[in-house]
């Protein structure tokens, strides 16, 4: 592979190497495959299923899985497979959007704190401490009640607000160490201003842990949403999410186990895939891992 001299070219070369490493990581590849399938199923829900996920059919309560209802029906006679598909839309998108909010916020804060240091760092980190000191669950409950129920935007924002701290610390650590490096010195001598240094030089090199954290964050967000719904605080019915389907199902576990198996299974599949992908990304993007792969 040709090795170029400019930082941009070096980065491009690095990305390509990373991709190669990722493709060699078996579980990550499988995880990607599964996740893509899940995403496609979720997006294509209206095309795949002929049923209405919210229409109640009192006569069809708790039907066992059959040809017309491959995953059976739930406590109100609704086709479970359809609800899983539509639920996937909500659960997956909440996960992704919440992380997007968290990453954006966390990166911004961490960037500023790590780059400028001194009292700005101190102030921002105090703020981070304060946010970290808030008991998550309690805040979620309060907000849910204050706003009279959680809608998707609310959950996304709230989950994002509760999770950006870890990213900010990561980014800050990266910036703290990277800002002393030679290439930053070099950029400064050439006359680059702060903004340019941050966004063109340091940030791209800090992306690796951010990406990994983001990926794993989606998994965490999905689990948090399901826990919230289990406590009755998440998205309210009749809109299906994998989380709130599990909540109802735990009550009906003995009578209709399929209502509990499938949502739980899909949460598990999504989260495991994402974790595999994250693991693969971590391996692929960490330059120090190059040593190990060569040793294999």
Partner 1 sequence: MRRLIGAVPLLLAITAVLFGIMKSVPGGPLAIYEGTPGMTDEDMARLEHAFGLDQPLPIQYVSWLGRFLAGDWGYSIIQHQPVLGLIGERLPNTMLLMGTVFTVVLVLAIPIGTVTAVRQYSWFDHLVTGSTFAFLSTPTFWLGLLLIIVFGLQLRWLPLGGMRTAGVDFDLVDVLRHLILPVATIALVQLGGRVRYLRASMLDTIGQDYMRTARAKGLDERVVVMGHALKNAAIPLVTIIALDVPELFAGALVTEQIFGWPGMGRLLWDATTRNDYPILMGVLAVTSVLIVFANLLADVIYGYLDPRIRYS
Partner 2 sequence: MSWKTFGNAAVVGALFAIVAAACAPSTPAAGTAAPSPAGSAAGAPVRGGTLVVAIWQEPANLMPSYQSQTVQSVVLDTVVEGLLRATPAGEYEPVLAKAVPTVTNGGVKVSADGKTMDVTYQLLPGIKWSDGEPVTSADVKFTWQAWMTDPKVGTREGYDQISSIDTPDDLTAVVHYKAIYGPYPTRFGRLLAKHALEKESDYSKSDYVRKPLGTGPFKVTQFNAGESFVVERNPYYRVAGKPYLDKIIFKSVPSSTVAIAQLKAGEVQAMWNIGEAETADVANDPNIAVVVTPSPYVERIEMNTAVNKDGTDANSVHPVLGDINVRRALIYATPKQQIIDKLLLGKAQVGRTVLSIGWAAPKDITQEGYDPKKANDLLDKAGWAKGSDGIRSKGGVRAALTISTTSGNAYREQLEQVLIDEYKQVGVDLKIQNYPSSVFLSGSWATGDQRKRGSYDLSLYNSAPDIDPQSIVNQRYHSKNIPSPANGGVGQNYTRVKNAEMDKAIDEAGASLDFELRKAAYAKALKILNDQAVIIWLSERTDLTAYRKNVQGQGPGNGWRNFAHNTEEWWLSK
Choose between 203 and 246: whose C-beta lies nearer to partner 1: 246
Contacted by 251, from partner 2, partner 1, none: CB < 5 to 8 Å by type: partner 2
Nearer to partner 2, 51 or 276 (CB): 276
Say if residues 156 and 101 touch (Cβ distance below 8 Å). yes
The option from partner 1, partner 2, none interacting with 118 (CB < 5 to 8 A, set by class) reads partner 1
Closest separation between CB of residue 5 and partner 2, Å? 38
Min dist. Cβ of residue 286 to partner 1 (A): 8
271 part of the interface to partner 1, by CB under 8 A: yes
Q: Which is nearer to partner 2, 196 or 251 (CB)?
A: 251
* Neighbour tally for 91: CB within 10 Å: 30
Of 173 and 272, CB closest to partner 2 = 272
User: Where along the sequence are the contacts to partner 1 (CB under 8 A)?
Assistant: 27, 117-118, 121, 126, 129-130, 132-135, 137-139, 141-143, 145-146, 176, 219, 223, 226-227, 230-231, 246, 250, 253, 264, 267-268, 271-272, 275-276, 279, 282, 286, 288-289, 291-292, 296
């Amino acid at each position: 592979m040709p090795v170029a001299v400019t930082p941009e070219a070096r980065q491009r070369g690095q990305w390509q190497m990373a991709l190669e490493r990722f493709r060699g990581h078996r579980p990550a590849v499988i995880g990607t495959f599964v996740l893509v399938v899940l995403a496609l199923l979720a997006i294509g829900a209206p095309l795949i299923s002929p049923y209405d996920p919210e229409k109640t059919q009192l006569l069809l309560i708790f039907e066992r899985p059959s040809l017309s209802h491959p995953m059976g029906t739930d406590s109100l006679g609704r086709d479970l497979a359809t609800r899983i598909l539509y639920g996937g839309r909500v659960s997956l998108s909440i996960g992704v959007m919440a992380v997007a909010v968290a990453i954006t916020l966390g990166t911004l804060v961490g960037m500023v704190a790590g780059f400028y240091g001194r009292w700005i760092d101190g102030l921002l980190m105090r703020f981070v401490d304060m946010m970290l000191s808030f008991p998550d669950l309690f805040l979620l409950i309060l907000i849910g009640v204050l706003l009279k129920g959680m809608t998707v935007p609310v959950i996304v924002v709230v989950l994002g607000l509760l999770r950006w701290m870890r990213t900010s610390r990561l980014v800050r650590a990266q910036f703290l160490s990277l800002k002393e490096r030679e290439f930053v010195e070099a950029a400064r001598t050439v006359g680059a201003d702060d903004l340019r240094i941050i966004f063109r030089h340091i940030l791209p090199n800090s992306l690796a842990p951010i990406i990994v954290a983001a990926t794993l964050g989606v998994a965490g967000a999905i689990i948090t949403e399901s826990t919230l719904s289990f406590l009755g605080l998440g998205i309210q019915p009749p809109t299906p999410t994998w989380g709130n389907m599990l909540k109802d199902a735990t009550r009906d576990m003995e009578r209709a186990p399929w209502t509990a198996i499938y949502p739980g299974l899909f949460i598990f599949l999504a989260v495991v895939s994402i974790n595999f992908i994250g693991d693969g990304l971590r391996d692929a993007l960490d330059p120090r891992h190059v040593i190990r792969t060569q040793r294999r």
